[in-house]
Amino acid sequence: MLDNNFSIGIIGLGTVGTATIKLLEKEIDSINSKSGKKIIIKAISSKNFSKKRDIDLTKYEWEDNPEKLSIRDDIDAVVELIGGSDGIAKNLAYSAIKNEKHFITANKALIAKHGYDLHKSILGTNISIYYEAAVAGAIPIINSIKNGLISNNILGIEAILNGTCNYIMSDMTNNETSFKESLKKAQELGFAEADPSFDIEGIDSGHKLVILGMLAYGAKPDLAKIYIEGITSITPEDIKYATRLGFVIKLFCIAKQEKNKLDFRVHPSLIPLNALPASINGALNAVFIDGNYSNKITFIGEGAGADPTASSVVSDIINAARNHKLKNNLSFLNQKLEYKDIIDRIGRYYIRFVVQDVAGVLANITTILNKKNISLDSVVQDRNKGEDFNNIIVLTHETNELDIINAIIGIGNLDTVLIKPQLIRVENI
């Protein structure tokens, strides 16, 4: 028997918003049974009511001003699905909290920028903020870190968090296409936006990573303090040589705590072919969490799309209804940790040099590397028939990033080196 109603207001009726309403309508009996309450869509709001949608919205009360939904007495939870880190989304979040409404969102930019402060603002209240849909689509990674793995100290998180980039890297690898060709395919298939810069420059992954880091380590998200590098510089040559050396290239996200420093990074990485992340292809997402008691746990699934995202939104609605009067436990908040600079990384590196086809080039390169105490694991010298340039690829042993950067600067100044050397980090999985 349902004990009472749980009323929600939904703001944003784009792809995810309409998919959320469809899911609620289709599965309402099951949803009500699981939540123990009768969930009611009390009102909706968006920029344009008359916009053509493949769903009947006339049965719901329309609110022209979305912020009014956060102050109405007949609404228990605000569901924000409009996006953006500031503006209306931010105002809705704080207004909902001020007026003792649960706040549910799929907005990774908002949580990445304001999530820490939003959590602080609900201390001592009986309301919560929910954002399962903000990271990795249908994968229940937020709840897993907050609740399922709460007995563990998180030793590290490794992840593939952007389906657009993973599709592009997979397509370049499997079909020997260029970055531009694979990006075009991704756009045609709906995996990439018309303006894909947010994805391919690594910003989307950065937002998601700092959210996971906030939960795992209590770290206040700060995109300006973490290293973010996208995939736009990756070439078919890099794909080819990585494969020859026993690796694939992925846009990889890393979050670790080393004493009182946080090592958070997003960048292309060489992943060993025999490691599980190397097998995550297409638009899939994957999160690998290492707990001190759980050991490494793997989550794989669809990280974007209307239905997977709506699935997580509705899960949050159910949990909000279940925990309507549950007191918050926000002990994970920790302001004592500092972010580690990428320059302090210790690891292996792939470097590709495009050089003139003349004698002594390799010797000059290795001399500079040796002066920086950089030892080599393997060297590939690939002569291009009919061309006046060669590719020289080196794979280093473990070394310091600062030494690598200084060596590359020195090598890049050689007259025989034709373009800026390509540097890709190797992750030992």
Please give the average per-residue pLDDT across 253-259, as a whole number.
Answer: 92
Can you give the pLDDT at residue 327? 55
Please give the average per-residue pLDDT across 76-97, as a whole number.
Answer: 94
pLDDT tens readout for residues 107-140: 999 999 999 999 989 988 888 999 999 999 899 9
Please give the average per-residue pLDDT across 311-324, as a whole number.
Answer: 91
Query: 234: which 2 tokens?
Result: 């990756």
pLDDT tens readout for residues 162-174: 999 999 999 999 9
Can you give the pLDDT at residue 303? 85
Check: CB of residue 77 under 8 Å from CB of residue 104: yes
Can you give the pLDDT at residue 50? 74
Check: CB of residue 380 under 8 Å from CB of residue 400: no
Identical fold between 5-137+307-322 and 146-303: no
Pick the residue with more confidence: 51 or 188? 188
Can you give the pLDDT at residue 258? 86
pLDDT above 80 (res 325): no
Please give the average per-residue pLDDT across 143-172, as a whole number.
Answer: 94
Kind plus residue range of the DSSP H or E element containing 9: strand 5-11
Please give the average per-residue pLDDT across 74-83, as a whole number.
Answer: 95
pLDDT above 60 (res 205): yes
pLDDT tens readout for residues 223-241: 999 999 999 999 999 999 9
Please give the average per-residue pLDDT across 190-217, as a whole number.
Answer: 93
Can you give the pLDDT at residue 259? 82
Can you give the pLDDT at residue 42? 96
Torsion of CA 213, 251, 392, 400, to 10 degrees: 0
pLDDT above 70 (res 181): yes
Query: 225: which 2 tokens?
Result: 């303090």
Please give the average per-residue pLDDT across 159-186, as a whole number.
Answer: 95
Task: Break the chain into its structural domains and give their ranges.
Answer: 5-137+307-322, 146-303, 345-426
Half-sphere exposure of 251 (CA within 13 A, CB side): 33
pLDDT band at 1 (very low <50, low <70, confident <90, very high): very low
Q: Give CATH for domain 146-303.
A: 3.30.360.10
Pick the residue with more confidence: 182 or 259? 182
Check: CB of residue 316 under 8 Å from CB of residue 324: no
pLDDT above 50 (res 341): yes
Please give the average per-residue pLDDT across 33-46, as a whole number.
Answer: 94
CATH fold group of domain 345-426:
Alpha-Beta Plaits (3.30.70)
Query: 363: which 2 tokens?
Result: 């010797």
Would you name the residues annotated as active-site residues? 208
229 CB-near residues (< 8 Å, 6+ apart): 202, 266, 267, 268
Can you give the pLDDT at residue 421? 95
Residue % of the chain over a pLDDT of 90: 77
CATH fold group of domain 5-137+307-322:
Rossmann fold (3.40.50)
